[in-house]
Chain A
Amino acid sequence: MTEETVTEPLVHIQNFRMDFGGNTVVSDLSFDIDRGETFGFLGSNGSGKTTTIRALLGIYKPTSGTLHINGREFRPEDGEKLGYLPEERGLYKAESVIDVMTYFGRLKGLNKRAAAAWSMEYLERVALTDKAKLRIDKLSGGEQQKVQLGVTIMNEPELLILDEPTKGFDPVNRRLLMEIIEAQKNAGATVLMVTHQMEEVERLCDRVVLLKDGKAEAYGTIAEVQDKYGGTVIRLEYSGEIPDSAHYEVTLRGKRQAELTVVGHVDEAVILRELVDAGVMVRSFQTAKISMDDIFVRVYGEQHEAAEA
């Protein structure tokens, strides 16, 4: 008999509900984040992601439900090793880079000397050493983002919460940011990431939750979520008329190219046979997993259309 160790999830959210003055922003949300995983928290604008994070961090008090980090409600004074990069970013603009970083380091439990030393080391890493004594508002937007990221990770956080981390970064700095996130992950940090960049989700995230109408629309590994939404797409080069079928949906139709999303668990060969039998001249037939981007569009597209209408 093998001994199984059951580890408590680092983040546990159960039946979370949040009302603001009669408006329900999140109605019933539950999910867990395991230690060491990178977790994608996805949803359209206004779906309640930031509200959930704020409630998890004790900034908002939930209307009902449980939001735990390390088995208890988060309180800054408990000394939890947490790094949070909020969507709304800013630092004390009239203060110097090193003073601001040292201040936050001290708030996170470092002594002044250690906070200053860590800050200088980080600034060297992101090529900002020469700007350590400049006021924050003398830095460019990208440089300010780098400083803010440094403040976020300066206490070697056990849990790193990143709300739209690449927002405002150019491609070069985005790559640097991703390297830093990966380094944190490799150092054992658990990462909770809110993003609309689905390629980042596919590349970095172990599991995701999709928030819709205040509830978890989908929750699981990337593969599980892809499976839920058909899992497989077929990219087709063809001539002729694609027939209707219960085995697929035509999600993209061009003159000679089309994309079919497989419905349910059906062998792709069956679909190929159907097409050939219907007289479609198939020149190319490629299968791939449905992208997170497509899933996002499928889940939230209707919402956008309704909102625009």
Chain B
Amino acid sequence: MGRHNLGTVISFEVIRTLTKKRFWIATLVVPLALIIVIGLVVWSNETTSRQVSEQKTAEFTFTYVDDSGYVDPAVATALGGAEATDREQALEDVKAGRIDALFEYPSDPVTQPTMVYGVDSGVFENGKYAAVARHILVTSSQARIGDETVAALVQGNVSVTSTTYKDGGESGGMNEVFPPLIFLLIFYVVIILLGNQMVTSLLEEKENRVTEMILTSLDPTTLVIGKVVSLFIIGVVQIVVFVVPIIIGYVFFRTTLNLPYLDLSHLVVNPGSMIVGALLFVGGFTAFTGTLVAIGAVMPTIRDAGQVFAPLMIMIFVPFYAISLVVSDPHALIVQVFTYFPYTATVTVMLRNAFGTVSPLEATIVIVEQFVLSVVMLRLAVRLFRYGSISYTQKVSIRAVLSSPK
């Protein structure tokens, strides 16, 4: 009898997930929240920028007292100001509302504050007085320099392009670091988005008491592999849902959204690093998946599984606590421990691979370790599922399962 049970499991799992409202709510809530936040930020930036611009050139009546000698009367006059002859009278005029503001520039504006007095025109509008007072001083100072380039250099507007050499050839520098890190990003996204589903997916069979029906219709290995593959497909769908709006936004609305131009042509793709990154991703993903599936098979409920699931998730973030050592001193003891401990190895070696601090031997050992762990954990998961998922209400003794006949 021709059975296509792997395909049946995958299509059942994928379709039933993708047709659930709660999946789309969970999937869309993050990008929607991001879109809303980004929209608010863009709108706020535009508003702030417009307000600053308007405030710098805001037209109101003011007088000023210049003890510094840096203020160019022409600049102040152009903005509607006039030098005060009597400071006390000028302040009285402000208090009485006859003029809008008085600026008092001290003898040393670098160490002493410039005093601004103005007619209250609301919390937000009041900012225009300080903006104009500052603008007058900066513009007057730039005018004293008399050279726009020097003025820009003084402000630190400098562009630098570095070229470094490694083994006689031009090295990619930071441009070589980013491409392999894409695997680390995908690893985090997939594990964070799907980790919980991996655990609950098999727990569902257990909590619904459906395991025995399944096990007499289907080989547990097929079920576990079907679950893993379908989760991966669901993960790809989620990533597409995240990424497509970003790409559309960048390609078609970059100018409107004030997004910076990303010049990807400078990125250097090192085939060796990319292959290592890809292998680490596949090995790490399957090792974590196998482990999470095994947790789901052992624990009686989602709450129980959460107690083990959380520490496992923490482990993939732990290497970032030592990231400076990971990058700068890969031979430090803690980095070596993280490099070879199975559940910190993926992230640590992905980072080291990106920064070029992992040797081919180390990379090979860790990749092999990850794949061996994947096979062991998946086999263990199948075994635990076979026995553990029938122990519907209690935690399974792993020792008992392992000591039972194969």
Interface residues of A (CB under 8 A from B): 19-21, 54, 57-63, 74-77, 79, 82, 84, 86, 88-95, 99, 103-104, 106-109, 148, 151
Distance (Å) between the CB of A121 and the closest chain B CB?
A: 20
Q: A92 to chain B: which residues have CB within 8 Å?
A: 16, 204, 208, 210
| A-B pairs, 8 with minimum CB distance | A90-B209, A79-B1, A107-B217, A86-B212, A21-B400, A61-B405, A90-B208, A106-B8
Check: B163 CB closer than 8 A to any chain A CB: no
Choose one: A59, A75, A89, A148; the contact of B390 (CB below 8 Å). Answer: A59
Choose one: A57, A93, A95, A108; the contact of B215 (CB below 8 Å). Answer: A57
Instruction: Tell me if B208 and A93 are in contact (CB < 8 A).
Output: yes
Q: Mark B383-406, 1 if CB is under 8 A from A, else 0.
A: 000110010100001011001111
Q: A151 to chain B: which residues have CB within 8 Å?
A: 213
Q: B20 to chain A: which residues have CB within 8 Å?
A: 94
Q: B26 to chain A: which residues have CB within 8 Å?
A: none
Count of A-B contacts judged by CB separation below 8 Å: 90
Instruction: Tell me if B8 and A59 are in contact (CB < 8 A).
Output: no
Instruction: Tell me if B213 and A86 are in contact (CB < 8 A).
Output: yes
Distance (Å) between the CB of A61 and the closest chain B CB?
A: 4
Interface residues of B (CB under 8 A from A): 1-3, 5, 8-9, 12, 16, 20, 204, 208-210, 212-219, 222, 386-387, 390, 392, 397, 399-400, 403-406
Q: B16 to chain A: which residues have CB within 8 Å?
A: 92, 94-95, 99
**Which residue of chain B is the closest to A91 with respect to CB atoms?**
B210
Given the known inter-chain contacts A88-B392, A95-B16, please indicate yes or no for A109 contacting B212, CB distance below 8 A. Answer: no
Could you jot down 30 A-B contacts, CB within 8 Å? A20-B404, A21-B397, A21-B399, A21-B403, A21-B404, A54-B390, A57-B212, A57-B216, A58-B215, A59-B212, A59-B386, A60-B404, A74-B216, A75-B219, A76-B215, A76-B217, A77-B218, A84-B212, A84-B216, A88-B392, A90-B208, A90-B210, A92-B208, A94-B16, A95-B16, A103-B8, A106-B8, A106-B12, A107-B8, A108-B217
Q: A148 to chain B: which residues have CB within 8 Å?
A: 213
Chain A contact residues: over half helix, strand or loop, or mixed?
Answer: loop
In whole angstroms, how far apart are the Cα atoms of A57 and B390 in the complex? 13
Q: B406 to chain A: which residues have CB within 8 Å?
A: 61
Instruction: Tell me if A76 and B216 are in contact (CB < 8 A).
Output: yes
Instruction: Tell me if B215 and A104 are in contact (CB < 8 A).
Output: no
Q: B8 to chain A: which residues have CB within 8 Å?
A: 103, 106-107
Given the known inter-chain contacts A95-B16, A103-B12, A107-B5, please indicate yes or no for A59 contacting B213, CB distance below 8 A. Answer: no
**Which residue of chain B is the closest to A53 with respect to CB atoms?**
B212
Q: A19 to chain B: which residues have CB within 8 Å?
A: 404
In whole angstroms, how far apart are the Cα atoms of A75 and B220 in the complex? 11
Instruction: Tell me if A91 and B215 are in contact (CB < 8 A).
Output: no
Q: B399 to chain A: which residues have CB within 8 Å?
A: 21
Distance (Å) between the CB of B326 and the closest chain A CB?
A: 43
Distance (Å) between the CB of A306 and the closest chain B CB?
A: 25
Instruction: Tell me if B204 and A59 are in contact (CB < 8 A).
Output: no
In whole angstroms, how far apart are the Cα atoms of A84 and B210 in the complex? 12
In whole angstroms, how far apart are the Cα atoms of A20 and B397 in the complex? 11
In whole angstroms, how far apart are the Cα atoms of A60 and B220 in the complex? 12
Q: B218 to chain A: which residues have CB within 8 Å?
A: 76-77, 107
Instruction: Tell me if B5 and A77 are in contact (CB < 8 A).
Output: yes
In whole angstroms, how far apart are the Cα atoms of A60 and B390 in the complex? 10
Distance (Å) between the CB of A11 and the closest chain B CB?
A: 14
Distance (Å) between the CB of B349 and the closest chain A CB?
A: 38
Q: A106 to chain B: which residues have CB within 8 Å?
A: 5, 8, 12
Q: B217 to chain A: which residues have CB within 8 Å?
A: 76, 104, 107-108
Q: A90 to chain B: which residues have CB within 8 Å?
A: 208-210, 213
Instruction: Tell me if A61 and B404 are in contact (CB < 8 A).
Output: yes
Q: B9 to chain A: which residues have CB within 8 Å?
A: 107
Instruction: Tell me if A104 and B404 are in contact (CB < 8 A).
Output: no
Q: A107 to chain B: which residues have CB within 8 Å?
A: 3, 5, 8-9, 214, 217-218
